[in-house]
Each structure stands twice: as C-alpha cells, then as structure tokens.
C-alpha cells in the first residue's frame, strides 16, 4: 500500500462520519473503518471488508488501552511527543497486518524489555571507568604522601620527579616535552618554555603545582580520603513497610563500618566509636577485632596488636542491625495518605510527611504516588517542593527534610479514581546522617595513643520504603 493511498483513506474518514448516530465502524466499497472516540481524538483502524469485525474491535480496544499508558493527556501534542513509544507498542500488537496474541501487560513488558548484552557492556564499561578513576586517586595519594614526607625532612618534593619521569623514558635534565600518560592527560598542564638546563628546577616546580591542583580537585569532588591516611565509611540500608494507619509492618536497618588505610605507618590503629543510640542495636565486630575492648570502651582494634590492618582496601570492621520493636517511631520518616471519594467519581488526596528522627537530614527525597490507569485528570491544589507526573506515577520531590523543615503536605484531585489506586506509596532519599547515631570521635596509634588524622563519611538510604 502506497503512502498516497494511506493519506487518501485517512482524508476520506472525516467525510464518512455521520452525526447523531452511535457506530463503531464505517464501510466503503473497499475498506472498513473501525474507530473509537478518545476525548477529542479518534483511534482508527483501517481493515479490509473481509476481515473479522469482532477481532478488529478487540484489537481496537487494545490499541485504545495502550495510548493512555504513554500519554498523560489525550491531546494531539501529547500523542506527537510520545509518537515513538506508541509506534513501538503498536508494532507489538500488529505485525505484517495481523494481530499478535498479546495483552496489555505483555505489550508493556516487551516495550520496556532491556537488552542483556547492553547491560553487560554497560557494566564492563562502568567497571573500567571506576578502575581508571581509582588508579588516578591512588596515584594522587602517593604523590601527596611523598610531598608531605619530603616536607618533614626539609627536602625538595620528589612528587614532581616521579610524576614527570615515572611514566616515560625522558631524563630529568632533558628539555623536551614530557611523554604523555593516561594520568598526565587528566592533569592541567602549563606551557614549557625553551630554557637552559639551569631552569629545569622551575619546570619541576610547575609540575608540582599541577599535582597540587589535581589533589585539590579530588578533594573538591568529595574524595576526602585522598588527604587523610585513614578513612572511615558508615553505610546504612533500610527496609521498611508501613501500613496506611502508620503502623510498622516490617522494619530492618543494617549498617556496616569500613576502614581504609593508605599509609603503612598507620596500619596499627584504634578507632574510637561513640554510640549515642539508646535503642537495642545488635552490634557485631569482625572476628579479628578485639570484642572486649569494643564492649567496654567502644574501641575497634585488632586482637593481635602487632599485626596491621590491610592497606589500600575497604575492610569491614563493624556491623549493626536494628529490627522491628513495639515503637512505631522507629521509622525515620512517616508518610500519611488520606484519599477520600469526591464528586464525579474522583478522589481528593491529601499526603503529609513528617520527620520522626530530629537528628536526621534527608536530601533529594522523592515520594512516588501511583495513579489509576486509563484516561485520568490530575489537578494539584497545594504542594511544597516540586512535583511531576511520569506515566502512571506522581513524583513529589523535596530537596531537604530536616529538623527545621520536618513536615509538609501535598493535595490533589484525580478523576476518575478510588482510594486503593494510590497505594503502595514508595519513598527514596539520600542522607549523610546516620539513623543509628554511630560516629567515630577519634583515631589513635595502638602503640602510644597519639592521634591520627582521619576522615569519615556517612551514607544512609532506603532499599525499600513503602506504604501499603
């Protein structure tokens, strides 16, 4: 069938429509138009007169159900914006002029299906990029450590020499441009002037400045471990299921403290932990850690004091766990949803959140509210933060929730809808504060108790947070 033929059939359709009569099809001498109104638009199926009209009507109904899956509003502009997604979905329903034996769930699954090979490729690529970034950080740490040690001895830092000559064959006295390397390409470079051999030291000084700039840039990007010989990481994950009345149906908090040492002279250390949590935390230390010292004074150190901690790797030294108790205030954030049936078959929905733990600071909070399927109208009356509709989900985003901004509400109306359409609600966030209130107060040498510079970061996020 040519393009001109298709355009001619579509142009003839409006002229065949008769007002005041309820029909689902119109026939001409050669074709049959099967159609269904969608607000101000029509879903149209053009078939031969010999086709089974019952099967055509069933196919048309499936087409009509697919459109609201991708179009939040049934307007011409929205259909144009979602044209490719609709074409992909239509292609799963009809192939070579014949309908495939599929339902709406299968169409949705086929369209959203991911490529296994693509996932493998992306995973390999991310691993390679991560390894390259780690090598850059390790090299920057070595350069910084050499510079600090040289400064203590009152000598000229060897970092510039190692950096300019360690990756190539050029000698120190050569005035030629340094050979390129994967790390050197990432560093800001300065033009090298043609000077006499006596000015070689100036070129080394310029290179050292480049190293300082690189280390400073790593620090600004959050890699504090590049500046501290000992780095601690507190990582917490939460799995929480709440009932609609606010009761906790399932609660499990799991945490892990990892230790990373980048300088061998700080291999034998003690980490002093402060536990301000009054709840029954289940604490478990690594088998090589002195349990009695941790129970009595909160000190994490090896049983065999003469042995050092492993270097340049994240070593788990402490785990903690908190499960459901009788306290409904265990949840860091409570979310209450109040849908009530309104006029015209719609629902008026009021959602409110409140921070239950005042010491927490939650950032990038997103509350995902499901919406009913089909052609629905969503009108938001009151909100704080921002909101957006994505498919059949209303995303309510709040930048920060803390003690000063601990509660807010969202009000909207959906037509048509019933109260059960708005569950389950899921919540995501990121946080650099700990729910279990475990922190490191100091790090000391195991031999003489002298203080050791250290850095720490905290990560707290939910693996699952839903209101059912």
Are 187 and 417 in contact, with CB atoms under 8 Å apart? no
- State how far the Cα of 318 lies from the Cα of 348, in Å rounded to an integer: 47
CB 317 within 8 A of CB 285: yes
Give the helix/strand (H/E) hosting 363: strand 362-370
- In the DSSP assignment, the letter for residue 184 is G
CA angle 290, 291, 294 (to 5 degrees): 95
Please give the structure tokens belonging to residue 310: 């492993």
In angstroms, the CA 412 to CA 352 distance is 12
CA distance 256 to 236: 7
Dist CA 23 CA 34 (whole Å):
9
List the one residue out of 231, 190, 193 whose CA is nearest residue 212.
Answer: 190
- Cα(383)–Cα(199) distance, rounded to whole angstroms? 65
Q: Which residues of the chain have pLDDT under 70?
A: 18-23, 113-117, 155-227, 325-328
Please report the pLDDT score of residue 23 as a whole number. Answer: 67
Going edge to edge, which strands form the sheet with 362-370?
282-285, 315-323, 248-261, 230-242, 454-467, 425-431, 362-370, 393-401, 386-390
* Contact by Cβ (8 Å): 35, 42: yes
Q: Which helix (H) or strand (E) holds 338?
A: strand 333-341
Among 313, 290, 311, 162, residue whose Cα is nearest residue 233:
313
Query: Cα(111)–Cα(89) distance, rounded to whole angstroms?
Result: 6
Main-chain dihedrals φ then ψ at residue 60, nearest 5 degrees = -65, -40
This prediction has a pTM of 0.55
* Burial of residue 127 (number of CB atoms within 10 Å: 0-12, 13-18, 19+): exposed
The two beta strands, 98-99 and 230-242, are unpaired
Distance CA(258)–CA(237), nearest Å, equals 14
The Cα-based distances of 345 to 40, 202, 274, 411, 417 in angstroms read 21, 79, 55, 17, 6
Do 302 and 287 touch, CB atoms closer than 8 A?
Answer: no
Q: What is the pLDDT of residues 216-264, one digit of tens each?
A: 555 454 444 445 889 999 999 999 999 888 888 889 999 999 999 988 8
Q: What angle do CA 67, 71, 75 make, to 5 degrees?
A: 95
Instruction: Look at residue 185 in the predicted model and tell me its pLDDT.
Output: 36
Taking the CA atoms of residue 122, residue 127, residue 133 and residue 137 in that order, the dihedral angle to the nearest 10 degrees is: 160
CA distances from 219 to 107, 369, 415 (A): 48, 38, 51
Q: What is the pLDDT, as a whole number, of residue 171?
A: 37
Cα 228 to chain centroid distance, Å, stands at 27
Residues 6+ apart with CB under 8 A from 293: 299, 300, 301
What does the DSSP assignment read for 406-456? -EEEEEEEEES--GGGG-SEEEEEEESS-SS-EEEEEEEETTT--B--EEE
Residue among 173, 235, 176 nearest 198 (CA): 173
Which domains occur in the chain, in start order?
Answer: 3-112 (3.30.450.60), 230-319+446-467 (2.60.40), 333-431 (2.60.40.1170)
The answer to whether residues 441 and 297 touch, using CB atoms and an 8 Å cutoff, is: no
């Amino acid at each position: 069938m040519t393009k001109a033929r298709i355009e001619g059939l579509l142009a003839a359709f409006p002229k065949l429509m008769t007002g005041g009569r309820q029909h689902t099809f119109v026939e001409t001498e050669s074709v049959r138009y099967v159609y269904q109104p969608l607000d101000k638009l029509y879903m149209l199926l053009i078939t031969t007169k010999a086709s089974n009209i019952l099967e055509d009507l069933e196919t048309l109904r499936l087409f009509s159900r697919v459109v609201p899956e991708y179009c939040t509003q049934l307007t011409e502009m929205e259909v144009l914006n979602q044209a490719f997604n609709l074409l992909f979905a239509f292609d799963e329903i009809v192939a070579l002029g014949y309908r495939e034996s599929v339902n709406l769930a299968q169409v949705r699954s086929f369209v959203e299906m991911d490529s296994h090979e693509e996932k493998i490729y992306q995973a390999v690529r991310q691993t390679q990029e991560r390894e390259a970034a780690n090598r850059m950080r390790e090299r920057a740490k070595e350069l910084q450590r050499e510079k600090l040690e040289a400064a203590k001895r009152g000598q000229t830092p060897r970092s510039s020499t190692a950096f300019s000559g360690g990756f190539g064959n050029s000698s120190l006295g050569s005035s030629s441009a340094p050979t390129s390397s994967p790390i050197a390409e990432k560093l800001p470079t300065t033009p090298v002037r043609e000077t006499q051999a006596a000015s070689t030291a100036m070129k080394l000084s310029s290179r050292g400045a480049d190293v300082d700039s690189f280390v400073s840039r790593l620090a600004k990007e959050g890699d504090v471990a590049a500046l501290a010989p000992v780095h601690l990481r507190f990582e917490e994950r939460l799995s929480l299921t709440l009932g609609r009345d606010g009761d906790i149906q399932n609660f499990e908090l799991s945490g892990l403290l990892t230790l990373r040492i980048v300088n061998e002279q700080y291999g034998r250390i003690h980490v002093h932990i402060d536990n301000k949590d009054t709840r029954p935390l289940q604490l478990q230390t690594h088998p090589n850690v002195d349990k009695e010292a941790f129970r009595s004074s909160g000190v994490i150190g090896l049983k065999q004091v003469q042995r050092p901690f492993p270097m340049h790797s994240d070593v788990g030294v402490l785990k903690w766990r908190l499960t459901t108790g009788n306290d409904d205030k265990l949840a860091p954030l409570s979310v209450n949803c109040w849908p009530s049936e309104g006029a015209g078959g719609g629902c008026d929905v009021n959602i409110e959140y409140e921070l239950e733990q005042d010491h927490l600071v939650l950032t990038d909070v997103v509350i995902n509210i499901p919406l009913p399927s089909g052609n629905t109208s969503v009108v938001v009356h009151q909100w704080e933060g921002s909101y957006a509709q994505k498919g059949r989900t209303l995303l309510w985003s709040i930048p920060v929730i803390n003690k000063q901004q601990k509660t807010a509400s969202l009000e909207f109306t959906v037509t048509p809808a019933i109260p059960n359409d708005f569950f389950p609600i899921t919540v995501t966030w990121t946080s650099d504060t700990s729910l279990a209130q475990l922190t490191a107060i100091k790090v000391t040498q195991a031999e003489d108790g002298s203080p050791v510079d250290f850095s720490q970061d905290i990560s707290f996020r939910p693996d699952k947070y839903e209101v059912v």
